[in-house]
Amino acid sequence: MNNIALITGITGQDGSYLAEFLLSKKYEVHGIVRRTSSFSTGRLDGIYKYGDSVDQRVQLHLGDMSDQHSLISIINEVKPTEVYNLAAQSHVRVSFDQASYTADVTALGALRILEAIKDFNKNHSANIKFYQASSSEMFGKVFETPQTEKTPFHPRSPYGVAKLYAHWITVNFRESYNIHATCGILFNHESPRRGETFVTKKITRSVGRIAVGLQKKLCLGNLEARRDWGFSGDYVEAMWLMLQHSQPDDYVISTGQTHTVREFCERAFKRVNLNYEDCVEIDPQFYRPAEVDLLVGDSTKALQTLGWKPKIQFNELVDMMVDYDLELAHKEKSLTTT
């Protein structure tokens, strides 16, 4: 039987890396995208560009996580063997301003697609495997360090709360309907494809622009917040490994190392021979209403059960992002001077 994957959120950072990874494993890949007035497939340029599939094994379908009917229709049309639910309103700070939207897409979206899978499995004697992108933000106000699969949850944002609902409804469907449903509790993971509203990308994008003279200062909030930062390309492999395991379960995916936002800035500016202290200003508007100060994961279970461990380390990750954004800044500058 052919391996057929359906990815929600395929145009995002993780979705694009996952699509490429699954193609390397000879999968037929389908993705769900929302209808918009402009193309949003830039991260898929290597496999799908401007409405045309560069790789014939990639197909995109119009749908929405808030529309149950579209999800049912796509599941019935694609008949996937694996579904990876990566779609979400995934920005923590934005979730405070758009809490109901975050809940609808991030929490109830997971329920809707699980319902579609449950009904398809029942009607077609199928066994679609399901991956839910859970988040370290569910730990929030942490009870222990490092965090494991057994650490109690205490989310500190509407995003974290929504992810917690999606996590537990996945566990519930696994236990109630015998669905091969697995949750990957992923700690922060970045790449050159990271969205520009996230702090890591905001830093590296600004580093590039400051280095070429297009920008003077970078305004940030809490520089002492500590995170466990890994590489998205490594983490999508963990998603796939989870669904290849015979038994569904929950796994923490992390590097086990923690760094502050200040350290991220220091490394990023050092890459272009600048001192971050000369370029970074603190602006209280960028502080969250409820801050998560320290997140660091223990992914021993993933190593022992799946054989997974991260390959890209912190300094290499930061350098990779800065190099990419420095090239973008040079292109931007050349356009402004022509």
**Residue 163 near residue 86 (C-beta atoms within 8 A):** no
Distance CA 159, CA 156 (A): 8
> Minimal CA–CA distance to 181: which of 137, 117, 122, 93?
117
Catalytic residue among 28, 82, 137, 263: 137
The single-letter code of the amino acid at 177 is Y
Are residues 14 and 133 in contact, defined by beta-carbon separation less than 8 angstroms?
yes
Distance (Å, rounded) from C-alpha 46 to C-alpha 198?
Answer: 23
- Tokens 């931007």 locate to 332
Catalytic residue among 95, 135, 206, 232: 135
135 is catalytic: yes
Choice among 159, 235, 276, 324 that is catalytic: 159
Known catalytic residues are 135, 137, 159
